[in-house]
Chain A
Amino acid sequence: MTDSFILGLSSGSACLVTCGMVMFPYIMAGRGGVMKIVLDLSVFLATRLVIYFVLATLAWYFGQAFLTSGIVRTFVTGSLYVMFAIILIWYSIGRKKNMKCPAAIVTKVEDKRLVPVLLGVVNSIGFCPALLLILTKGAAQGSLAQSWLAFLAFFTGSSLWFLPLPFAGKLKKKQVIETIGIFATGLAGAIFIIKGLILITGGILNG
């Protein structure tokens, strides 16, 4: 639970930096006042939650289908943790500044009422090493409920960053938040490398 939350938190910070300025002008530009903003933000978050539950279910079923024995589950999960975590660290260190937000394309949709929903979809399934890590974790869980819980923690962690977004434009220290967010992503990667190594070593020692 905790590592999923941390993973979400770290990927949310990267998302905020890359996509915050693209997504929120659309959500915030509604002319219906505060209620409209709250509604759009809720739709956006609810869409993400639904998508994550779907992904959690799919990941768990894939895990059940392919990670059949305990030893395979341990080795595959451990190796994937290490591999995706290295990609996550590389992604956080090597990311270009002023990276383009993959969700930018959605904002060109003519029916603006669909924008929050589409933003939620793109934001949830947009390629990101953190998503690969949480999918691996979801696949390795013993029960569907545990997989849902892992994704729920991931969703909660990543959503925390969206709450202060209405004020994001006024932030003077955007560069600092970006830097801290990138480091947090790298640290989350380090946590999963350690988890992966523990799984692999434990697997070797236990035969």
Chain B
Amino acid sequence: MDNSSIAVSPKKTFGKALLYTLPMFLVTFMFITGGKPDFSDPARTVAILVTFFGMNLLYFLMHYSGKTDRYRAIIFVIFALTLSFTLIRNMILIRNSMSFSQADILECKIPFCHLVIPMMILPAALTKSIIFPGTILGGFADIASMVVLWLAATVVLGRGFCSWGCFYGGWDDGFSRLRKKPLVKKISDSWKWMPFAVLLLVALTAALTMIPTYCNWICPFKAVTEFEKVTNVESAVKAGVFISLFGGLVVALPVVTRKRTQCSFLCPMGAISTLSNRITPFTMKIDTNACTQCFKCVDSCPMFALTREGIKEGTVSMFCSKCGKCMDSCSRNAIHFGIRGVPAGTRKNFSRNLFLFVSFLFMAVFSSQPIVFTLNSLYNLIF
């Protein structure tokens, strides 16, 4: 039992890391192959094997090297890219275009994503109706399965969903890593309250208009998924808003600040996930006995969750997305994954192993299909 408050390294020996990877090996094999391995199609077989071994290699490296965020980010970014590819390819296969028409809305053919959930709650409670034009059950990206997945992830991971499950987060996470040092360092951390204002506005406007206003007017990821066909001034302005927000909050600002600005300053789902951090069993803890107050963790945090005052007091704010970047920057292992109720500085490795298994499994299961699909498509394209 590692209950010492002195730095405990999360690194493991080769054999021990392999042993920890074994359960993930088995579970991911089951999920990626669907329990019935079918290797008749060479393209799909290659895609499945690359995905399966790649994922497990990264999980192994997390245990072997003791670094969390370094390897998490690789899958997370690939997940975002491949999901966009999958969505766009599906759109083109079905409609020959990335845009959807009014007819598609009327026929409820729009793929659902978790960002709609904050806007669905009030109308569903008041009118017992779903305001999104998607399929409730069955078909591509249906509402029921997405809500269940999101609920499960949120209850277990809290805002960890934003770093381990959200298929958009990888975009600004990826762009935030392009520069080694930020060009803009001073950003008021009061901006992190902006998603709550966005949540307030979109939830109320959706309830009043019975239209998912965030998707309709704001969502920057429309630029890399599907969007309304430009047929008039209003739809042109909407497209302009989507592209500007994507360019500004997902590309430019993360590059110059090394922060996940879309997730921190806009996403209404992030606001809900932030609140859910208060009930989740996993938290980040600071071992004040091991901490030397170098504040490298504060500078590295992409979500404005850490402050110098908080580090001194040994507290991490509810904005933490449990990405593990702060842990990777801490040479003393003073900041670590923890379990609610367990004192900081104790059971560090146990908590990390448990959290990594749960969160990585969720990400692996969620991301494997788009990755397999993309690899499969690329294989077919090349050969």
Residues of A in contact with B (beta carbons under 8 Å apart) = 1-2, 5-6, 9-10, 176, 179-181, 183-184, 186-188, 194, 197-198, 201-202, 205
Contact = CB atoms under 8 A, between A and B. Distances in A.
Given A2-B205, A9-B204, A198-B233, A184 B197 contact: yes
Nearest to A201: B233
Given A2-B209, A198-B237, A201-B233, A180 B204 contact: no
A5 B208 contact: yes
A81 to B, nearest CB: 13
A184 B201 contact: yes
A197 B204 contact: no
Q: Which 8 interchain pairs have the tightest Cβ spacing?
A: A183-B197, A184-B197, A179-B193, A202-B233, A2-B208, A180-B196, A183-B194, A201-B233
B83 to A, nearest CB: 28
B190 to A, nearest CB: 5
Query: At the interface, is chain A mostly helix, strand, loop or mixed?
Result: helix
Query: At the interface, is chain B mostly helix, strand, loop or mixed?
Result: helix
A163 to B, nearest CB: 14
Contact of A183 (B193, B204, B209): B193
A201 to B, nearest CB: 5
A80 to B, nearest CB: 18
Nearest to B205: A2
Contacts of B204: 5-6, 9
Identify the interface centre among A5, A187, A205: most chain B CB within 10 Å of its CB: A187
A187 B197 contact: yes
Contact of B208 (A1, A184, A194): A1
B267 to A, nearest CB: 14
Interface in B179-218: 190, 193-194, 196-198, 200-201, 204-205, 208-209, 217
B49 interface: no
B241 interface: yes
A57 to B, nearest CB: 24
Nearest to A206: B233
A179 B197 CA distance: 9
B234 interface: yes
A188 B201 contact: yes
Contact of B200 (A1, A176, A184, A202): A184
A160 B237 CA distance: 31
